[in-house]
């Protein structure tokens, strides 16, 4: 009946398919143009270096930075580690206090915890029901010994966007560095390190139609000039902040992906937003008690995190296995712990477990969305029909008043 090809990929916040134009640009750098960008004595090296510098301009342009402010890394996990640990250690004499938020990605949370083990003090900002921080609480938390404030541009599980310009202004006024994990926002929300007063910003190519295993860290060069203690020593590549032979093919791919993200920004955003809205409206029209999580207004355009009360998320994911999505527990790797992000919004374990993240991308179609809406609605209705909780709700029992006994 339907022409859509399954499985359907709707997990673009986990990774995106490489754009064919990106792959095309990368190919010569696996073969003829295989040089080491650090080789100074022959054209093989010069070719590689010039390709890397073109990519550096392209990535810088995506965020309003200067090419010299871009440091190549292996992805956002490394960029976050380098920014947070690198700045914490470099500015240790100024102070040992850092600020972040409980809904950050593990690639920010874990380096912060690591620094806590080393004796640094971390203030963990909480969030409201929609995943928003309180700017007043942030202002109060910044102290004379605060060196780094790390807050993401937009959340990878619920899509809530933080007000970057306001955060940047606060940090600048109080003399703390602002690190922003912008992994999800690249190509989906406007990023401008000047207007938003960001000092350090992490990007990952595979989240915006580039290859995996390559990323960048923007490091501000003036007002202030930010310095970082390197995580990796050897050779002094990348202004001494990140040694190691550059991943030239990956970098060329990231550059082209950044160029496309800029060129296609309006079209990409309009496309994913239209599909996301179609998905949400379709699901909510048939399942009015489904709940969309996150900030309804300030959020990523491609992502929808929806809780389906009275059905179990894992069963739902199994039931819709023709669609690749993430569950409310997928982000903590193999464990079935409910998502810490959803829990920090105040969702109970039940609701967190019944949540699914749909994330759309450049290559999704309206036909795919319609197929997914049908499938999800059908499956939720089927699972509910088997759910004793749903039956009780239909009988008018208020579940919050029920006293459960554990045997």
**Interface ranges with ligand PLP (CB under 6 A):** 75-77, 105, 107, 152, 156, 181, 183-184, 204, 207, 215
User: CB nearest ligand PLP: which residue?
Assistant: 75
What are the catalytic residues? 331
Judged by CB, which is closer to ligand PLP: 170, or 216? 216
The structure tokens 């922003």 sit at 180
Q: Cα–Cα distance between 6 and 243 in angstroms, integer?
A: 42
Q: Which of 360, 373, 353 is nearest to 310 (CA)?
A: 353
Burial class (CB in 10 A: 0-12, 13-18, 19+), 405: exposed
Q: Cα–Cα distance between 54 and 251 in angstroms, integer?
A: 10
Is 86 in contact with 230 (CB distance < 8 Å)?
yes
Q: Cα–Cα distance between 362 and 261 in angstroms, integer?
A: 10
- Beta bridge partners of residue 307, listed in sequence order: 291, 355
Q: Which of 246, 200, 237 is nearest to 98 (CA)?
A: 200
For 258-267, give one letter per residue: b (16+ CB within 10 A) or e.
Answer: bbbbeebeee
Is 325 in contact with 304 (CB distance < 8 Å)?
no
Q: Cα–Cα distance between 158 and 276 in angstroms, integer?
A: 13
The structure tokens 């605060």 sit at 146
Q: Which of 183, 243, 230 is nearest to 87 (CA)?
A: 230
Q: Cα–Cα distance between 116 and 308 in angstroms, integer?
A: 37
Q: Cα–Cα distance between 93 and 79 in angstroms, integer?
A: 23
Give the number of C-alpha atoms closer than 13 A to the C-alpha of residue 9, restricted to the C-beta side.
Answer: 10
Give the number of C-alpha atoms closer than 13 A to the C-alpha of residue 351, restricted to the C-beta side.
Answer: 18
Q: Evaluate the CA torsion angle 359, 360, 363, 366 in order and state its sign.
A: positive
**What's 327's DSSP letter?**
E
Judged by CB, which is closer to ligand PLP: 252, or 376? 252
């Amino acid at each position: 009946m339907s022409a859509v090809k399954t499985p359907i990929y709707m997990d673009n916040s986990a990774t995106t398919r490489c754009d064919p134009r990106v792959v095309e640009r990368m190919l010569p750098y696996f073969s003829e143009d295989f040089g080491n960008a650090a080789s100074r004595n022959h054209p093989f090296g010069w070719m590689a270096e010039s390709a890397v510098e073109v990519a550096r301009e392209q990535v810088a342009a995506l965020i309003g930075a200067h090419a010299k402010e871009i440091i190549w890394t292996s992805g956002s996990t490394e960029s976050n580690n380098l920014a947070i640990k690198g700045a914490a250690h470099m500015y240790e004499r100024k102070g040992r206090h850092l600020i972040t938020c409980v809904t950050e990605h593990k690639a920010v949370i874990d380096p912060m915890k690591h620094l806590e083990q080393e004796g640094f003090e971390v203030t963990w900002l909480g969030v409201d029901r929609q995943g928003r921080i309180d700017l007043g609480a942030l202002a109060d938390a910044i102290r004379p010994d605060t060196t780094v404030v790390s807050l993401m541009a937009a959340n990878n599980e619920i899509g809530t966007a933080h007000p970057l310009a306001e955060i940047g202004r606060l940090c600048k006024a109080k003399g703390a560095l602002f690190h922003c994990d912008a992994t999800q926002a690249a190509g989906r929300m406007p990023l401008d390190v000047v207007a938003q007063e960001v000092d350090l910003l992490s990007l990952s190519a595979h989240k915006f139609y580039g290859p995996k295993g390559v990323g960048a860290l923007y490091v501000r060069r003036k007002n202030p000039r930010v310095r970082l203690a390197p995580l990796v020593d050897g050779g002094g590549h990348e202004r001494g902040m990140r040694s190691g032979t550059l991943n030239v093919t990956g970098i060329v791919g990231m550059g082209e992906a950044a160029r496309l993200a800029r060129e296609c920004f309006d079209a990409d955003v309009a496309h994913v937003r239209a599909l996301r809205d179609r998905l949400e409206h379709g699901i909510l029209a048939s399942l009015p008690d489904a709940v969309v999580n996150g900030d309804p207004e300030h959020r990523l355009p491609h992502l929808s995190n929806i809780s389906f009360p009275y059905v179990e998320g894992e069963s739902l994911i199994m039931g819709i296995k023709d669609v690749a999505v993430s569950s409310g527990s997928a982000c903590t790797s193999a464990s079935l712990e409910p998502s810490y992000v959803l829990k920090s919004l105040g969702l109970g374990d039940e609701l967190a477990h019944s949540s699914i993240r749909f994330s759309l991308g450049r290559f999704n179609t309206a036909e795919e969305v319609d197929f997914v809406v049908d499938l999800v609605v059908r499956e939720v209705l089927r699972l509910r029909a088997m759910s004793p909780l749903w039956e009780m709700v239909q009988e008018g029992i208020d579940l919050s008043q029920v006293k459960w006994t554990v045997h």
